[in-house]
Amino acid sequence: MKKYQHLAQQMAEQIAHGVWLPGDKLPSLREQVLNSGMSFMTVSHAYQLLESQGRIIARPQSGYYVAPRPATQRPATAPAQVMRDEAVDINTYIFEVLQASRDASVLPFASAFPDPRLFPLPQLNRSLAQVSKTATAMSVIENLPPGNAGLRHAIARRYALQGMTISPDEIVITAGALEALNLSLQAVTEPGDWVIVENPCFYGALQALERLKLKALSVATDVNEGIDLDALAQALQNYPVKACWLMTNSQNPLGFTLTAEKKAQLVALLTAHNVTLIEDDVYSELYFGRDKPLPAKAWDRNDMTLHCSSFSKCLVPGFRIGWVAAGKHARRIQHLQLMSTLSTSSPMQLALVDYLSSRRYDAHLRRLRRQLAERKQLAWQSLQRHLPPEVEIHHNNSGYFLWLELPAGVDAGVLSSLALEHQISIAPGKMFSTTDNWASFFRFNTAWGWGEREDNAVKMLGKLIRQLLN
Amino acid sequence: MKKYQHLAQQMAEQIAHGVWLPGDKLPSLREQVLNSGMSFMTVSHAYQLLESQGRIIARPQSGYYVAPRPATQRPATAPAQVMRDEAVDINTYIFEVLQASRDASVLPFASAFPDPRLFPLPQLNRSLAQVSKTATAMSVIENLPPGNAGLRHAIARRYALQGMTISPDEIVITAGALEALNLSLQAVTEPGDWVIVENPCFYGALQALERLKLKALSVATDVNEGIDLDALAQALQNYPVKACWLMTNSQNPLGFTLTAEKKAQLVALLTAHNVTLIEDDVYSELYFGRDKPLPAKAWDRNDMTLHCSSFSKCLVPGFRIGWVAAGKHARRIQHLQLMSTLSTSSPMQLALVDYLSSRRYDAHLRRLRRQLAERKQLAWQSLQRHLPPEVEIHHNNSGYFLWLELPAGVDAGVLSSLALEHQISIAPGKMFSTTDNWASFFRFNTAWGWGEREDNAVKMLGKLIRQLLN
């Protein structure tokens, strides 16, 4: 094969693989010569060959473009690939559910995120624009772990307003709460250690345990009362537990918030057994009552709690900024971060510093809470109206999840598959546990607004459930 | 203690912990009432008490501020805390060296980064500003793993210009190359597996192996020729190796670039043993010759190579954007990312898409390469002039590192400690290996410009080496 034929074949392959799409401008002859090191004649011949094959078209005074793909050549749409890797079965399942909620045509009742239209985009964009005016070359170097000092300061002050004294020095900025939680777990465990989680719990906890080769003790957790302290005490007595990962406010997926009394008891119990608490508090700002509930860390006098949170659920998911108030573990967590992701992005941290100092965060949060409460109420009414009375809808008073219980024998996984065919996603209970207890439960996200389309989707869910009942 | 006294004490503690700094505006009485749930009288009394203690001051029509700290109360500067955790000794050491290079008063010859003033800040800021005008609420959801489609496309096209066909679908966007490398390693290994690394190698490889509980086989690597293929073949024959992590272009810390012939041999050898190559190619754009060297992946016809790179060393470290061209492993890597950091930040990806499409990236790279070559030449001349002739300076023709060899018996770690007292940092050889082979070597960053201060620092290094020789 001659050189020009080889180049033409290579470019044809690239077009076939979607590197260059129909309508794309191709590199000019000159660029191609510079990049390939081939002669102008060779490159020119290759382009002429591709043109004669109808793969590219020349536009005078403009250059070469990828030809539109003839309709007959278009590959049939392949069915969504479902690869089941037995070893990571739950992860694959979670991945599929999350991927489905990316499709804009699917109603995202399965989503873990609130409707991003609830977030103050114009103000956030003003903060980004501000960073684009003031960022310096050196700001990157000032943002290695533990992260931007101004941002850690701003977070410490929000703790202070709740009456908690957290020094900026014990805060580490992370890629969302998820990295904070993962690093925290890694900081206090070794592979093979026992860790307590709730049952059911945030699936990220199960994934993290699996990833770090830890052993899970799932402790019974009630939809209203939260974790069973007697069962917890028993687990602590019978196993050499290293850490306990749980949510105290607006728990995912159940929705409860522990009472102050129970938080105090929880901390006392864990402290008595010298077990570290990894507290996932990502929904802390999404309370509906008058006062922001305290985290369990507020009762901790022995530096036994790593408190993890983020801006992803209440201000801006896309920035990927979270943190951990890590106390004595702060330094170890900085090391672990330096080894795995180095640091979070510097413009994102700077934009948040700007936003928090001047863009009325608290006013946004008040509006957000009001909107979430309204949407939850509307969703609840619709579910009450359209689902069969055998379905139990567990209400709660914060955040944007409802926990639904189908009649015994009706599998939420099956309902989820059927619903997806109608462009409706829900989050089946089996995403949230390694046990089989939750086959007939699902989590329902109420944060995406409520209109006719949502109401009709709930009607369809009702219809599908009735079919499964018969 | 009365309520107001309790609040005053709490705020005094917060001031002592640096949550509120001298000169900071404190929350207004009204805000404090809203946040604490206490009465206006209680809050007001607490502020008055703090004022009477001289801790805060009231400014009429403005509010309350933290009082300036009297000189006598200022705590003495504590010496930098050096905690040695035996289990992560190399990490602690690396951490200390990297932390030292954050101090703006220290000459960063130890740094792994080039001088950020070499990067096109105005253009990057224009791209950020562009994002701030066009970002939509939904852009966050479109940027879950594998990352922004436009960015993956732009990266695929840069491969195409080198004659490589990489589909955008096999590219995963990550938090810098470091996350790409870590996820790649995790995707193809289980704890306890054997992995081949170079000796010496990028310390991030050693840290990743340690973090994932993998066993390292360090293969002899020459400052000019690169990895010893005979030694590699022997290692592959004698151990059940799962992966080989190495750098083919502008290796860190040595600086060599493998020849095309050697890259082909390397790929053939690994393929024959069914061993995955994790190719760290972060310096690929920093060649000084006419043509951009190909990665080893270009010779791989069996989808055995995960090619990792980033924009951190050639365009913008602070964005924390890298990628892996992962072939058949792309899906597994998306799963792992979803479990650990979820995704990279959406505005950063969008800003890069804008930059790559309209801000003359290649013109920047040409200028950057020219500047780095000039600076390396100046640094080399200065080192030649001022260091004792017993010091061997290994030259190379790309990137911004030089590898220096002290006379036998002179410890680079000792030199590093002495140099730090003179605000000069270097990167001792022991950062780059688990063996003791490199005690008298160090890596020297030449990318930070060259003037009188740098020349004097090299003079000081020469003086310190002469002292150690006597």
User: For position A129, what pLDDT does the model report?
Assistant: 92
Residue B312, SS3 per DSSP: coil
Q: CA-nearest residue of chain A to B121?
A: A137
> Token match 């991945």: residue?
A95
pLDDT for residue B134 is more than 90: no
Q: Which residues of B touch A119 (CB under 8 A)?
A: 137
Local confidence band at B96 (pLDDT 50, 70, 90 cut-offs): confident
Which of A24, A140, A207 has the highest number of chain B CBs within 10 A, making it the mutation to test binding with B?
A140
Local confidence band at A238 (pLDDT 50, 70, 90 cut-offs): very high
Q: Could you tell me the pTM of the whole model? A: 0.88
User: For position A89, what pLDDT does the model report?
Assistant: 56
Chain A (77-116) residues lying within 8 Å, Cβ to Cβ, of chain B: 83, 85, 88, 91-92, 94-95, 98-99, 101-102, 104, 113, 115-116
Structure tokens, B100: 């030292």
Which of B86, B141, B143 has the highest number of chain A CBs within 10 A, making it the mutation to test binding with A?
B141
Q: What percent of chain B has pLDDT over 70?
A: 94
> Amino acid identity of B327?
G
> Token match 């946040």: residue?
B35
A11 Cα distance to chain centroid:
38
Q: Which residues of A touch B343 (CB under 8 A)?
A: 320
pLDDT tens, residue by residue, A389-448: 999 999 999 999 999 999 988 999 999 999 999 999 999 999 998 888 899 999 999 999
Distance CA A399, CA A281 (A): 12
User: For position A73, what pLDDT does the model report?
Assistant: 36
What backbone torsions phi and psi does residue A76 show, to the nearest 5 degrees?
A: -60, 145
pLDDT for residue B71 is more than 70: no
Question: A159–B19: do the CB atoms touch at under 8 Å?
Answer: yes
- What b/e string do you get for A277-308 counting C-beta neighbours within 10 Å, with b at 16 or more? bbbbbbbbbbbbeeebbbbbbbbbeeebbbbb
User: For position B76, what pLDDT does the model report?
Assistant: 33
- Say if CB A195 and CB A298 are below 8 A apart: no
Distance CA A86, CA A69 (A): 39
- Say if CB B295 and CB B307 are below 8 A apart: yes
Question: A19–B344: do the CB atoms touch at under 8 Å?
Answer: no
Query: Across residues B86-92, what is the average pLDDT?
Result: 52
Residue A169, SS3 per DSSP: helix
What backbone torsions phi and psi does residue A399 show, to the nearest 5 degrees?
A: 65, -155
Our CA dihedral for B184, B189, B194, B200, rounded to 10 degrees, sits at 10
User: For position B392, what pLDDT does the model report?
Assistant: 97
A437-451, B29-43, B75-89: range with highest mean pLDDT: A437-451
Kindly state whether A9 is in contact with chain B, defined as any CB-CB distance less than 8 angstroms.
Answer: no
Question: B137–A117: do the CB atoms touch at under 8 Å?
Answer: yes
Distance CA B219, CA B244 (A): 10
What backbone torsions phi and psi does residue A366 show, to the nearest 5 degrees?
A: -60, -45
pLDDT tens, residue by residue, B268-310: 999 999 999 999 999 999 999 988 999 999 999 999 999 999 9
Question: A341–B341: do the CB atoms touch at under 8 Å?
Answer: yes
Kindly state whether A348 is in contact with chain B, defined as any CB-CB distance less than 8 angstroms.
Answer: yes
- What b/e string do you get for A54-86 counting C-beta neighbours within 10 Å, with b at 16 or more? ebbeeeeeeebbbbeeeeeeeeeeeeeeeeeee
Q: Which residues of B touch A294 (CB under 8 A)?
A: none
Distance CA B153, CA A203 (A): 31
pLDDT for residue B160 is more than 50: yes
Question: B320–A342: do the CB atoms touch at under 8 Å?
Answer: yes
Distance CA B52, CA B338 (A): 53
Q: What percent of chain B has pLDDT over 90?
A: 66
User: For position B89, what pLDDT does the model report?
Assistant: 56
User: For position B86, what pLDDT does the model report?
Assistant: 32
Question: A169–B18: do the CB atoms touch at under 8 Å?
Answer: yes
pLDDT for residue B435 is more than 90: no
Q: What angle do CA B240, B243, B248 make, to 5 degrees?
A: 135
What backbone torsions phi and psi does residue B245 show, to the nearest 5 degrees?
A: -110, 115
Local confidence band at B80 (pLDDT 50, 70, 90 cut-offs): very low
Cβ neighbours around A182 below 10 Å, total: 28
Kindly state whether B158 is in contact with chain A, defined as any CB-CB distance less than 8 angstroms.
Answer: no
User: For position B99, what pLDDT does the model report?
Assistant: 73
Local confidence band at A84 (pLDDT 50, 70, 90 cut-offs): very low
- Say if CB B215 and CB B238 are below 8 A apart: no
| Beta strands at A392-394 and A401-405: parallel, antiparallel or unpaired | antiparallel
Distance CA A211, CA A186 (A): 10
The torsion region of residue A422 among left (phi > 0), alpha (psi -120 to 50) and beta comes to alpha
User: For position B84, what pLDDT does the model report?
Assistant: 27
Min Cα–Cα distance to chain B from A279, Å = 17
pLDDT for residue A72 is more than 50: no
Cβ neighbours around B389 below 10 Å, total: 7
User: For position A59, what pLDDT does the model report?
Assistant: 85
- Say if CB B308 and CB A333 are below 8 A apart: no
Query: Across residues B147-155, what is the average pLDDT?
Result: 94
Straight-line distance from the first to the last Cα atom of chain A, in angstroms, rounded to the nearest whole number: 67
Question: Angle formed by the axes of helices A361-386 and A452-469, to 10°?
Answer: 40
pLDDT tens, residue by residue, B223-237: 999 999 999 999 999
Local confidence band at A141 (pLDDT 50, 70, 90 cut-offs): low
> Token match 């300061």: residue?
A153
- What b/e string do you get for A338-377 counting C-beta neighbours within 10 Å, with b at 16 or more? bbbbbbbbbbbbbbbbbbbeebebeebbeebbebbbebbe
A62-76, B4-18, B454-468: range with highest mean pLDDT: B454-468
Our CA dihedral for B134, B136, B141, B147, rounded to 10 degrees, sits at 0
Mean pLDDT for all residues in chain A = 89
From the number of C-beta atoms within 10 Å of its C-beta (0-12, 13-18, 19+), residue B23 rates as: exposed
Q: What angle do CA A26, A31, A37 make, to 5 degrees?
A: 120
Question: B137–A119: do the CB atoms touch at under 8 Å?
Answer: yes
pLDDT tens, residue by residue, A173-206: 999 999 999 999 999 999 889 999 999 999 999 9
Q: What is the DSSP secondary structure assignment for residue A71, as one 8-state letter?
A: G
Long-range contacts (CB closer than 8 Å, 24 or more residues apart) made by A466-470: A466/A388, A467/A418, A468/A406, A468/A410, A468/A411, A468/A414, A468/A415, A468/A418, A469/A388, A469/A390, A469/A407, A469/A410
Strand order in the sheet with A392-394: A392-394, A401-405, A441-445, A427-428
Which of residues B5 and A270 earns the better pLDDT score?
Answer: A270
Question: A98–B338: do the CB atoms touch at under 8 Å?
Answer: yes
User: For position B177, what pLDDT does the model report?
Assistant: 97
Nearest Cα to A401, choosing from A200, A232, A105? A200
Show Cβ contacts of residue B457 under 8 Å, excluding neighbours closer than 6 positions.
B107, B109, B422, B423, B424
Mean pLDDT for all residues in chain B = 89
Alpha helices in B189-342 (DSSP H): 203-211, 229-238, 260-272, 330-340
Say whether the peptide bond before residue B240 is cis (omega within 30 degrees of 0): no
Query: Across residues B38-58, what is the average pLDDT?
Result: 88
User: For position A70, what pLDDT does the model report?
Assistant: 57
Kindly state whether A198 is in contact with chain B, defined as any CB-CB distance less than 8 angstroms.
Answer: no
User: For position B237, what pLDDT does the model report?
Assistant: 94
Which of residues B238 and A102 earns the better pLDDT score?
Answer: B238
